[in-house]
Structure 1
Amino acid sequence: MKKITDERLIVRNLQHIRIAYIVQTTGILCILGYEVFKDGIEGMTNNPLWFVFMLTTIVYGYLNMSVSVEQEKKPKKPVRSLIISLVVVTIIAVAFAILTSITPNFNWSDGILIGGIIFICGIIPVSYVYRLRIKQQKDLEEDE
């Protein structure tokens, strides 16, 4: 199989992949929607397609992060953005921890667990975007 070098064919191939992804995602959502009506939310989340859907959504989100960082009109200061993002993620995690702990049938250990999970899940994309911005900043310095 030959490597495609014509840019028009590359773009058309990428459009075909995008259409296939949309069809696949729509199919998975329809199957999961059927599971919700049939067995409820718990039945849907027990379906292996739920894991596939969540995994592809997360991967797609991370791939879009790299594109959005490269498309920023004015390069942002990576350290300042990191500090602001860390403060926001911390506030959200603490708020969820407090709200969970004061909810009936939950205690402080449940609140700390939920807050910790939200904090870790927020830190991962924040650090990824920080690394992308550092890399972009180094690339811009090398070009000058």
Structure 2
Amino acid sequence: MKKIRDERLILKNLQNTRIAYLIQTVGILGILGYDLVTKGLDGMRENPLWLAFMITTVISAYLSMSISADHENNKKSPKKSLSISLFVLVIISTIVGFFVTFTEGFTIIDGVIMGGILFICGLVPLIYIYYLRTKRQDENFVE
């Protein structure tokens, strides 16, 4: 099989892949929606399609982050953006942990665990986007 060199054909192939991905995602959501209605939330999450959908969504989000980091204007310092994002993440995690402690049936330890999980889940994308921004800044500085 020959590699495609024509840019129009490459773009068309990417558009076809995007359409196929969209149709696949709608199909998976339809199946998961049916499981949600018939079996409830636990039944839906037991379906292996749930795991495939979550993995695909996370990978798609990370790939989109790399494109958006390349598209940004590099007027802002990556360190400043990281520190602002970390501050907002700490505030949100603290507020969520605080309100979890006041929810009936939960303790302070549950609030700390929930806030900590939220912080870690938010920290991973922040560090990744910081890495992408510094990498792009270093590449622009060399040129």
Q: 1:69 to 1:47 in 2, by over 3 A?
A: same
Q: Which runs of 5+ in 2 are unaligned?
A: none
1:126 equivalent in alignment to 2:121? no
After TM superposition, the structure 1 = structure 2 runs for residues 84-95 of structure 1, keeping only pairs within 5 Å, are: 84-95=84-95
Q: Aligned residues, how many? A: 143
Structural RMSD (CA)? 0.9
Q: Distance in 1 between matches of 2:58 and 2:102?
A: 31
Per the alignment, residue 24 of structure 1 pairs with: 24
The worse-fitting range, judged by mean Cα deviation, of 116-125 and 64-73 is: 64-73
Q: Distance in 1 between matches of 2:125 and 2:119?
A: 11
State the TM-score, normalized to the length of structure 2: 0.97
Q: Which runs of 5+ in 1 are unaligned?
A: none
Per-residue displacement from partner, 1:107-128 (whole Å, max 9, x unpaired)? 0111111111100000000000
Q: Is the 8 A contact 1:96 1:115 kept in 2?
A: yes
Following TM superposition, where does structure 1 have runs of at least 4 consecutive aligned residues deviating by more than 2 angstroms? 73-76
State the TM-score, normalized to the length of structure 1: 0.96
| Identity percentage of aligned residues | 49
Q: 1:4 to 1:75 in 2, by over 3 A?
A: farther
Matched residue of 1:30: which SS?
Answer: helix
Per the alignment, residue 138 of structure 2 pairs with: 138
